[in-house]
Structure 1
């Protein structure tokens, strides 16, 4: 046996090996943390995208199927309200499936609240051109999305001369008719913009004209 083997490792060699081991462990833990953070960010992004798709799917399907059904009647001039809209709120009637309630036509009040940081929808049953209270506790508004920076609705109808579509409007005051298209622009609190969304209403027939929101 050599003299080197009999003496064993020197203190310097042990310290160097310990330092190398510590450095390797630090790199390993850093890599693990980075991988974990990446997976978490991926899960958050996937959940956010799924939420966006769900909200846009709900709005698209219900707006597209909006009906020319009155939800209110002005006693003074006899004007029936079927659709109204501002940059942050719109009201229209569409059917909801039985599993979401009692089914049938419901007034949808889609509104940006809390300075545009939350988007919600209220549902109220409609019968004979009027909203009616359901038995029991009133249905609270459903939260569609939160942690938002801004929400903007715009509306477009037929051109006044009947030739194609008119310009986009920030409000819809022709409450007796439905717009032809609705644009929904949403920006998240972190600055991420939701995909552009323009919905064509199957029963929209109103004409565009300048309105004051």
Structure 2
């Protein structure tokens, strides 16, 4: 009887140890509710930081693309103005309704004659007129407009439609300046002047200062 009782106690003890070990392993393998909540919170913070980083990258990318587009537009306009002004030729417009020298300039308007490249639709000498005009109602600042037409008169069967083209918008200020001798002075000294009217020759240099609405200042041409 005693031996049987001891055997029963021994079996009970072994079973109890086995159950305790199994429960201990289960506790070690699982997570408590607090641990799960902490893990979810950390994961949420990491996802938030990730999306914030992606948003910042997208904003920087868009800003970079916008800046590249602005620089490209500025370079195209600057190259156009430099090339055409460099190719300006001195001519007398005796055949015009108001005879005058081909090059005329003020602080906000400029007129000159230059040749178009062979690849252009319009060949020969062209009369360019650049002027600063008010912007449309839904836009700010002013606009730089350019007109182009053949300098020499065409035949009755040939007509060119003069279509003004706006090449730059949102201008805060624009000023042309001309370097050469003063028309009212007998001295040969040259200086910068705000107009070039009723002259018989081209100025030595032409300067264009442009400032946009957003505060961007173009390099002086």
Normalised by the length of structure 1, the TM-score is 0.79
How many residues end up aligned between the 2 structures? 190
Q: Which position in structure 2 is the counterpart of 1:32?
A: 54
Q: CA deviation at 1:176?
A: 3.1
> Residue 10 of structure 1 corresponds to which residue in structure 2?
32
Q: Cα distance, 1:73 vs. partner?
A: 4.9
User: Alignment partner for residue 149 of structure 2, among 99, 124, 148?
Assistant: 124
Q: Hey, what's the Cα distance between the residues in 2 that align with 1:46 and 1:54?
A: 12
Contact 2:102 2:112 in 1 (8 A): yes
Q: For residue 105 of structure 1, what is the aligned residue in structure 2?
A: 125
Instruction: Measure, in 1, the Cα distance between the counterparts of 2:125 and 2:93.
Output: 10
C-alpha displacement of 1:137: 6.5
Q: Distance in 2 between matches of 1:114 and 1:141?
A: 14
Q: What pairs with 1:34-183 in structure 2 (closer than 5 Å)?
A: 34-71=56-93, 73=95, 80-114=100-134, 117-127=142-152, 130=153, 135=158, 138-158=161-181, 160-163=186-189, 166-183=190-207
- Give the Cα separation in 1 of the matches to 2:146 and 2:197: 20
On the 8 A contact 1:110/1:121 being kept in 2, the answer is yes
1-structure distance, mates of 2:70, 2:196: 31
Instruction: Work out the CA distance in 1 between the residues paired with 2:156 and 2:170.
Output: 31
Give 1 or 2 for the bigger CA radius of gyration: 2
Structure 2 segments unaligned to the other structure (5+ residues): 1-21, 136-140
Instruction: Name structure 1 gaps, 5 residues minimum.
Output: 198-213
How many Å separate the matches in 1 of 2:39 and 2:164? 64
Question: Which structure features the higher share of helix residues?
Answer: 2
- Look up the match of 2:216: 192
CA distance in 1 between counterparts of 2:199 and 2:155 reads: 19
Secondary structure (helix, strand or coil) at the match of 1:20 reads helix
Residue 120 of structure 1 deviates from its aligned partner by: 2.1
RMSD of Structure 2 on Structure 1 (CA): 2.5
Q: Which gives a bigger RCO, structure 1 or 2 (Cα 8 Å, sep 6+)? A: 1
The answer (yes or no) to whether the contact 1:71–1:131 under 8 Å persists in 2 is no
Provide the C-alpha distance between the structure 2 equivalents of 1:104 and 1:16, rounded to a whole number of angstroms.
Answer: 78
Q: 1:98 to 1:141 in 2, by over 3 A?
A: farther
